[in-house]
Amino acid sequence: MTVVFWLTFGMLAVAALLGTIRLLLGPSTLDRIMALELVVVLVAAGIAVGMAAMRDPANVTLLLVVALLGFIGSVTAVRLAEGMERHR
Amino acid sequence: MTDVLAAVLLLSGGLICLLGAIGVLRFPDLLSRLQATTKPQTFGLLLVLAGTALRLPAEAAAGLGLVALFQVMTTPVFAQLAGRAAHRTGNVDKGVLRTDELREHR
């Protein structure tokens, strides 16, 4: 079972690395916001895998907060980026 | 038995997340990258949460269900807002669109 958790963690880490590369490359601001949103979701998935590994439900609240904050943050950033580019 | 199912769900969730990230890195334009972003956001996270729920007591699994519900509700909102912002700021190549429902009527 430990192998499963490490494999899943590994895949999430590689995915977060690829998302970070897109965050650095991203031609437009919207690309960067999307990449960050992806990384936030990967962090949430990592918290969930950690809970599964330790059989410890203490972090459910943290998971909820990360998921909701990620949504609010990226929606705000999208609207800000839209406003900035339109007034240019 | 439950552990085997949890392992399969966790691994497939991680794989979906990895594939989505590869898509985000490799796809050529903003709308297809947006499409690739939303796959880990819904399907990948749902699979991981299902796998986690099998390893936890039932009360904690209810909290995970709440996370899954919020994620399914908020991801389309984000994707729609991002797509509309991309269209309005001219980041979408209008030539590849078959129909353009956001076209402004004047």
Q: Give chain B's mean pLDDT.
A: 88
Q: Write the CA distances from A54 to A34, A47, A50, B35, integer angstroms.
A: 31, 11, 6, 33
Please answer whether residues B85 and B53 qualify as being in contact, where contact means their C-beta atoms are separated by less than 8 angstroms: no
Mean predicted confidence (pLDDT) in B16-30:
92
Report pLDDT for B96: 75
- Closest chain A C-alpha to B99 CA, distance in angstroms: 22
Q: ipTM exceeding 0.90?
A: no
Determine, for residues B37 and A67 on separate chains, whether the beta-carbon distance falls below 8 Å: no
- Cβ neighbours around B5 below 10 Å, total: 12
What range does the domain containing B43 cover? 2-105
Please answer whether residues B13 and B48 qualify as being in contact, where contact means their C-beta atoms are separated by less than 8 angstroms: yes
Higher pLDDT, A16 or B102: A16
Tally of domains within chain B: 1
* pLDDT tens digits along B53-94: 999 888 888 889 999 999 999 999 999 999 888 888 877 777
Report pLDDT for A88: 62
Mean predicted confidence (pLDDT) in B24-44:
91
* pLDDT tens digits along A37-87: 999 999 999 999 999 999 888 889 999 999 999 999 999 999 998 888 766
Instruction: Return the closest-CA partner of residue A33 out of A18, A19, A47.
Output: A19
Mean predicted confidence (pLDDT) in B16-28:
93
Domains and CATH numbers, chain A: 2-86 (1.10.287)
Choose the closest CB to B3 out of A1, A11, A68.
A1
A-chain residues within 8 Å CB-CB of B51?
48, 52
Round to whole Å and give the CA distance between A57 and A54. 9
Local structure of B57: helix, strand or coil: coil
Nearest residue on chain B to A77, alpha-carbon basis: B82
pTM listed for this prediction:
0.90
A-chain residues within 8 Å CB-CB of B85?
30, 78-79, 81-82
Nearest residue on chain A to B72, alpha-carbon basis: A67
